[in-house]
Chain A
Amino acid sequence: MKAIYVNEAWCLGCHLCEYMCAFANSGETDMVRALKGPIHPRIRVEDGENDVHFAVNCRHCRDAVCVKGCIAGALRREGNGVVVIDREKCVGCFTCVALCPYGAIMPDGEGKAAQKCALCTDNLAGEPSCAANCPNRAIVFEDRG
C-alpha cells in the first residue's frame, strides 16, 4: 500500500508538515482561522541533537497493536490497509497511546478521544498533505510494500 515515509537526512525541521496536517484536518477552508491558537497535528516532528529532525506519523502497521488494544473497537484496519479511528466510538482511554511504538496516536485537542493519521482519507486534502507540502521532499507518499 502507499504510505508515508520520511528521510531524516532531508528534513529541515521546519515543522510545516504539522501545520499542513492541522489545516487539512481542521475542516476549515481558511488557513488563518484553522491555525489560530494551539494546533493538534497528527504528525509530529522530533528535533534531536546534532541538527537531526524527522517527522513521525502512523505507520499503518500490518499487525497494528493499537487495533488489538482498543477497548471500544474504535480502531480498525480498512480493506485498503489504512488504520482508522472512529472517534464517535472512542472513549479516550488511550490504551492505543500506551501501545503505539511510534508515538503516532495521541489525544485530540480536547483530550476526549484519540486521533491519528488516516493518510488524509478522512478529509478533503486528497493526497496526504504533509507529503504534498514538504518543501524538501523529506516526507513522501509511496508504495514500499
Chain B
Amino acid sequence: MRYVLIGNSTAATFALEGIRAVDREGSVVIVSKEERPAYGRPLISYVLGGKISPERAAYRPADFYERMNAEVLLGDPAIRLDPAAREVHLASGKVLPYDKLLVATGSHPAIPPIKGLETVEKKFTFMTMEDALALGREAAGKRVLVVGAGLIGLKCAEGLTGTAKSITVADLCDRVLPNVLDAPAAAIVRRVAEAHGVSFRLGDGTERFEGNTAYFKSGARTEFDLAVIAAGVRPATELVREAGGATDRGILVNERQETSLPDVYAAGDVCESFDICTKRSRVLAILPNAAMQGDCAGRNMAGGKASFLNAMPVNAVGLFGSHIVTAGAYEGESYTEGEGDRYKRLFYADNALRGFILVNCIEGAGIYTSLLRDGVPLDEVDFERLKHGPSLAAFPRLVRERKLTRRQ
C-alpha cells in the first residue's frame, strides 16, 4: 500500500500515527511545502516572543519519521492532484503515485482587499514558523500595526510586546476575539493587553494604505513601520477543488474523512466537519479537531474502521498572563458570574449545556466540554453545582463510578 500525505502539520502527523497503528508495512510519503519538520503551529507566537526556540517547537521527537518509517519531502509543495491516474504532482516535477491520499493542506492567510496594500513596504502574515522568524528579525524597535484582533492577531501582538516599539491592533469589529468571546470577556482581554502596552483601534475598518500610513473609516490614521495582516484564513482547498472534488468553504468529507474523490481523504483546517453544537457542517480550524480528523483519516486509509462524529469548537488560549477557555455555541439562556479579570458564562437551552466562556477560571473546564461533547441532559446532573464550578460530584453516582472504576 502506498500512502501519500500532503501537508505536514497536526492532521498529517496524527494521520501518520493512525496509519501506523494499523499498517506497519505500507510506504508513506509526506509532502510539505515548508522546509522544516512538523512543529506546533500555534507555538510560532512563543518563538516570536523569545519564550522558546524554533527547535523546542518541534511537534514530535527528532527520530519520529524514522520510527514511523515515513519519507518526508520538505519544501516541495504539491501543485496538482490527478485522481484518475492516482498521482500527485509536486512543484519540483516529481510525480508521486498513491493508493490512499490524505489532503491536509491547512489554510492560507486571508488577505483583505484593502486599497493600497501593495504600497506597504514591509508586510507580514503570521501562519508559519518562517513568518514568525522573519517578523522577529524586523520588529525590534519598530511600530507595528496588526490588522485583525482575532486569535492570530492577538497572539502575534503578544509575541511582539517587549521588542516592538509600539503595537496597534485594528479590527472592524468592536471587540477582540469576536469569534470566541462575548463583550464582557473581550473587555477583560483588551484591558490586560492594554496593560501590556498594546493599543487598539476597534470598530474601525482599515480603509486604505499609503505606504506606511493606514487610514481608517473614521478618518483616523496610524503611522507604522511594519504591518501584520491577521485578518483570518481561508482553507487551502485548491488541489481537491481543481481535481473535481466537492468543496464548499472547506473540503467536504464524510465521518470517515473521505472526500468525494475515490481514496482521497482530507483532515485538518482544510476541511469541514459536522459541528455537533451548531448542527451544521463548517470549518472548525482548531488544533484538537485537526488531530482527531487526522487520526480518523489515517486509520481508515490503512483499512481500519474509524468515525469522527463529535466535532465541536473548543478554544484554549493564554494571552498576556490571562487564560481563556471557550466552547460550543453561545445561544439560549445564560448564567454569568465574574469579578475583576475573572469571568464565567454558561449557555444552556433545551436541557443541555450549549456553550461556555471562561476567563481566568479555567480549572476543570474539560468537565464542561464533556457535557457538550457527550450531550449530557442537564436534568441528569446537578446543574446548580456545575454553575459554580466544574465537578464530577455533580454527576450521578453510577456515571461517576463508570468513569473512575473502569479503564477508560
A residues contacting B by CB (< 8 A) are 1, 3, 5-8, 46-49, 52, 54, 56, 59-62, 65, 68-73, 88-89, 91-103, 105-107, 144-145
CB–CB A92/B393 < 8 A: no
Contact A98/B404 with A47-B393, A56-B392, A71-B43 known, Cβ cut-off 8 Å: no
Minimum CB–CB distance from A109 to chain B (whole Å) comes to 13
How far is A97 from B403 in the complex, measured between Cα atoms in Å? 17
A sample of 28 cross-chain residue pairs with beta-carbon separation below 8 angstroms, ordered by A number, consists of: A1-B407, A5-B405, A5-B406, A46-B391, A47-B393, A48-B394, A54-B393, A59-B403, A68-B292, A69-B316, A71-B40, A72-B40, A73-B59, A73-B60, A91-B52, A93-B317, A95-B287, A95-B288, A96-B316, A97-B316, A98-B316, A98-B327, A98-B366, A98-B369, A101-B369, A103-B363, A103-B367, A145-B407
Q: How far is the CA of A105 from the CA of B363 in the complex (A)?
A: 8
Give the chain B neighbours of A47 by CB distance below 8 A: 393
Binary contact track B291-332/A, C-beta < 8 Å → 1, others 0: 110010000000000000000001111100001010100000
Of all chain B residues, the one with the shortest Cβ separation from A103 is B364
Chain B, interface SS category: helix
Q: Is the CB of B365 within 8 A of A7?
A: no
Interface residues on B, range: 35 or more
Query: A102 to B400, Cβ gap below 8 A?
Result: no
Contact B325 A98 (CB under 8 A): yes
Contact of B366 among A46, A72, A101, A107 (CB under 8 A): A101
Q: Contact between A8 and B390 (Cβ–Cβ < 8 Å)?
A: no
In the complex, which residue of chain A has the Cβ closest to the Cβ of B314? A98
Which of chain A's residues have a CB closer than 8 A to the CB of B325?
Answer: 94, 97-98
| Contact partners of B14 in chain A: CB under 8 A | 68
**What 0/1 readout, one digit per residue, does chain B (56-98) give for beta carbons within 8 Å of chain A?**
1111100000000000000000000000000000000000000
Q: In the complex the two chains form, is B318's CB within 8 Å of A93's CB?
A: yes
* CB closest chain-B residue, reference A61: B408
Residues of A within 8 A of B323 (CB): 94, 107
Q: Which residues of A contact B367 (CB under 8 A)?
A: 100-103
Query: Judging by beta carbons under 8 Å apart, are A8 and B397 in contact?
Result: yes
- Is A97 in contact with B365, judged by CB distance below 8 angstroms? yes
Q: Contacting A144 at CB < 8 Å: which of B56, B366, B406?
A: B406
- Interface presence of B51 (CB below 8 A): yes
B46 interface residue (CB < 8 Å to A)? yes
Q: Smallest CB-CB separation from B57: which chain A residue?
A: A72
Extra pairs beyond A91-B46, A91-B51, A101-B367 (5, CB < 8 Å)? A8-B397, A54-B393, A72-B43, A73-B59, A101-B369
Which B residues touch A6, using CB under 8 A?
A: 404-405
Q: Contact between A107 and B363 (Cβ–Cβ < 8 Å)?
A: yes
Q: In the complex, how many angstroms separate the beta carbon of A88 from the nearest chain B beta carbon?
A: 8
Q: Least Cβ distance of B299 to chain A in Å?
A: 11
Determine which residue in A48, A52, A56, A69 has the highest number of CB atoms from chain B within 10 A of its CB, and name it.
Answer: A69
The residue on A at minimum CB distance from B373 is A101
Neighbouring A residues of B317 by C-beta, 8 Å: 93
Docked complex Cα distance between A48 and B362 (Å)? 20
Instruction: Say whether B316 contacts A95, CB under 8 Å.
Output: yes
Given A68-B291, A91-B52, A100-B366, A73:B40 Cβ within 8 A? yes
In contact, A62 and B407 (Cβ under 8 angstroms):
yes
A7 vs B291: C-alpha distance in the bound complex, in angstroms? 34
- List, in ascending order, chain B residues with CB within 8 A of A107's CB: 323, 362-363
- Does B138 reach chain A (CB closer than 8 Å)? no
Question: Is B197 part of the binding interface, using a Cβ–Cβ cutoff of 8 Å?
Answer: no
* Cα-based distance from A111 to B365 in the complex (angstroms): 15
Render B176-218 as a binary contact track against A, CB cut-off 8 A, 1 for contact.
0000000000000000000000000000000000000000000
Complex Cα gap A37–B52 (Å): 30
Distance (whole angstroms) from the CB of A72 to the closest CB of chain B = 5
Scan residues 381-395 of chain B and give those whose CB is less than 8 A from a CB of chain A. Answer: 390-394
Residues of A contacting B51 in the complex (Cβ-Cβ under 8 angstroms): 91
Looking across the interface, which residue of chain A has its beta carbon closest to that of B64?
Answer: A73
Most chain B CB atoms below 10 A, which of A73, A105, A145: A73
Q: Which chain B residues lie closer than 8 Å to A56 at the CB level?
A: 392, 404
Query: Are B405 and A7 in contact, with the CB atoms below 8 A?
Result: yes
CB-CB contacts of B332-375 with A at 8 A, as 1s and 0s?
00000000000000000000000000000011111101100110
